Every structure is written in C-alpha cells, then in structure tokens.
C-alpha cells in the first residue's frame, strides 16, 4: 500500500485572521528596532532551524539548510541587511530543538525561526508569528502489517510523538470527545519516534501530516507504512520572531506578502511539495490546499 497524504479544508474561522495579516500597514524597515538593534550590535543575523523537518527545513549537505521555510526567510534576511545598512551582513544558521527554540528566541540568541513552527495560543504567549506560510494537520502513521485503518483501532495502544510538539495536545483534544484513549510516548526527535513505530513499540506515530509523508517517503520500505486519513488538528505553520517586536513583525509580513504576490512562494511550493526534496527521493505530490491558494490570491490583490 502506498503512503498517502490528503489535504483537506481546515477551520474556516482561521482564514480571515490569516488574510488580515497580509493587509497590515508596513512601517519602513528602519523601525524594526528591537531585533534590528541586536543584529547590529552582534554584527550577524541568527536564524533558527530544525535539521529533521523536511520539507520545511533540513540538511542535504553539511552546508546551510534548505527547505520551504528557509526559502521564505531568504528575502527577510535581505530586508534585515538593508535595514541594518550592511548588504554583506553574515548569517549564522543555528540548529534548534523543539524544547529549546522558544528560549533561544526569547533570549535573543536567534532572530527568526525558519522551520515548521506551529502558531498556537500557548506559544503566542512567548513569541510572535507571521502570516501563515502553510496549513497542515496532525495525522498518525501506522505499519500496514498491523492492519490498522482507523484511529479507533488505536484505542488503548501507544502513539509516539516528538516531545514538546503539538502532537500530544492534538491527540488529547481529538480523543476526549470521542472517548478514545491512548498512551502517548515521547521521543526526542523524528528519527527516534519513527524507530519506535518501526520496532512495534508504538502502534502509531503522530506528527504534522506533510512531514510524516516526507519522513516515510525517504524510507526504502515506505510502502509498508500508511498515514491514516483522520486529521486531528489544524497546524498553522508560520515564521516566528521575538515577542512584542511589532516592527519586526511588519518587516517579516511585508516580505512574506511580497513573496506570495510575486509568485516566488508558488515556486517554492512546487519545489518542496511537488518535487523530491532530496536527490533520489520521492515527491510528496501534495496539492496546494484551498486555504493556501486563498492566502496567495489575497497577497496578489493588495
């Protein structure tokens, strides 16, 4: 059986707020003082990313990371360079983990998080988010030989997820009203989580659907796994920046809007979601969700 990933509509209540971010009035770049001052004094732009978050951010070689979120951050970096008055300002890419990225951003060790960061109310208390760059959902991968085709069949079984991710609360919110109970096992990273599923220590592996698809597609035995169609949550992926820096937010959102307006973001989508993320890999072939099309169209209309 082939691994499949289906994108469906997400909660309509989120779309107006996302569209509104695209129409925010944009102050001039020089107003991005809080983060910009740190960048100037440091003499360097620090970008946080995750190495195991394809197709959003990942390592293909030992050099700088690649991916959909990384592509969105390139013009943001150029805007920050121009605002700092130094077009040659160096950039340092700092690999982060789920449990450390909030702290690194809050303390000023990184200026942007260019990865698969989900905008949630809990995280908004400690960081701010750009307009969405992708809409996803938590889904669950299973082994075909276990003959699990519905979430209900996971009742009472163990589901593994990455510690500190949105998988655990998504499972809880989805399961409680449906009287579905399962044990949540924590893994330190995606490889460890997948290992638990492969060994049969967990009956399911919960993660953002598109990253599950990317992770499974890279396996030589990818056909031995499937992603259940149930969508447990709405995962609004965005670029994160320091809490309370409104001018930085304006700079970031202006850049994202321009990338969508110009068609550059469409090209990035096609590169990272419709083509193989890595040489010799399999394409995800995930059609663009209607909500993403609406964001792109709104950017072009303003």
- Mark whether 18 and 131 lie in a shared domain: yes
Task: Name the domain count of the chain.
Answer: 2
Q: Is residue 8 part of a domain?
A: no
Does a structural domain hold residue 9? Answer: no
Distance CA 35, CA 80 (A): 9
**Residues 124 and 22 reside in one and the same domain:** yes
Residue 291 belongs to what domain range?
A: 14-135+236-301
Q: Which of 198, 227, 256 is the last residue in one of the domains?
A: 227
pLDDT given at position 61 = 67
In a domain, residue 7? The reply is: no
Is the pLDDT higher at 146 or at 273? 146
Instruction: Indicate if 150 and 168 belong to the same structural domain.
Output: yes
Domain membership of residue 264 (yes or no) is yes
Residue 4: per-residue pLDDT: 37
Domain-embedded: residue 182: yes
Per cent of the chain over pLDDT 70 is: 85
Domain edge (last residue) among 171, 205, 227 = 227
Q: For the whole model, what pTM was predicted?
A: 0.79
- The string of pLDDT tens digits covering residues 35-79 is 999 999 999 999 999 888 888 998 876 668 999 999 999 999 999
pLDDT for residue 27 is more than 60 = no
Residue % of the chain over a pLDDT of 90: 58
Q: What's the CATH number where 65 sits?
A: 3.40.190.10
Same domain, 106 and 42: yes
Is the domain of 253 the same as that of 107? yes
Q: Which of 208, 227, 246 is the last residue of a domain?
A: 227
pLDDT digits (tens, 9 = 90+) for 117-162: 999 888 899 999 999 999 888 999 999 999 999 999 999 999 999 9
Q: Please indicate, yes or no, whether residues 100 and 187 belong to a single structural domain of this protein.
A: no
Q: Are residues 240 and 126 located together in one domain of the fold?
A: yes
pLDDT at position 10 is 42
The two beta strands, 235-242 and 134-136, are antiparallel
């Amino acid at each position: 059986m082939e691994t499949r990933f289906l994108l469906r509509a997400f909660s309509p209540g989120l779309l107006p707020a996302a569209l509104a971010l695209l129409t925010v009035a944009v102050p001039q770049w020089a107003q991005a003082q809080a983060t910009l001052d740190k960048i100037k004094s440091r003499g360097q732009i620090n970008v946080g990313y995750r190495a195991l978050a394809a197709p959003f951010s990942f390592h293909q070689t030992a050099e700088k990371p690649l991916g959909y979120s990384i592509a969105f951050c390139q013009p943001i970096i150029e805007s920050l360079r121009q605002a700092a008055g130094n077009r040659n300002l160096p950039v340092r890419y700092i690999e982060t983990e789920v449990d450390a990225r909030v702290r690194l951003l809050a303390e000023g060790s990184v200026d942007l998080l260019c990865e698969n960061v989900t905008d949630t109310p809990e995280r908004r208390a400690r960081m701010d988010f750009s307009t969405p760059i992708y809409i996803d959902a938590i889904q669950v991968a299973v082994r075909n030989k276990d003959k699990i085709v519905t979430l209900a069949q996971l009742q009472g079984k163990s589901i593994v997820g990455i510690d500190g991710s949105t998988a655990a609360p998504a499972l809880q919110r989805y399961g409680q009203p449906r009287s579905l109970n399962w044990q949540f096992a924590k893994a330190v990273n995606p490889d460890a989580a997948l290992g638990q599923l492969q060994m049969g220590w967990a009956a399911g592996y919960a993660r953002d659907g598109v990253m599950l698809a990317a992770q499974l597609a890279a396996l030589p035995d990818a056909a031995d796994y499937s992603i259940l169609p149930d969508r447990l949550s709405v995962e609004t992926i965005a670029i994160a920046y320091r809490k309370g820096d409104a001018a930085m937010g304006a700079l970031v959102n202006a850049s994202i809007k321009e990338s969508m307006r110009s068609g550059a973001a469409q090209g990035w989508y096609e590169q990272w979601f419709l083509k193989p993320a890595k040489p010799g890999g399999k394409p995800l072939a995930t059609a663009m969700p209607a909500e993403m099309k609406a964001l792109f169209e709104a950017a072009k209309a303003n």
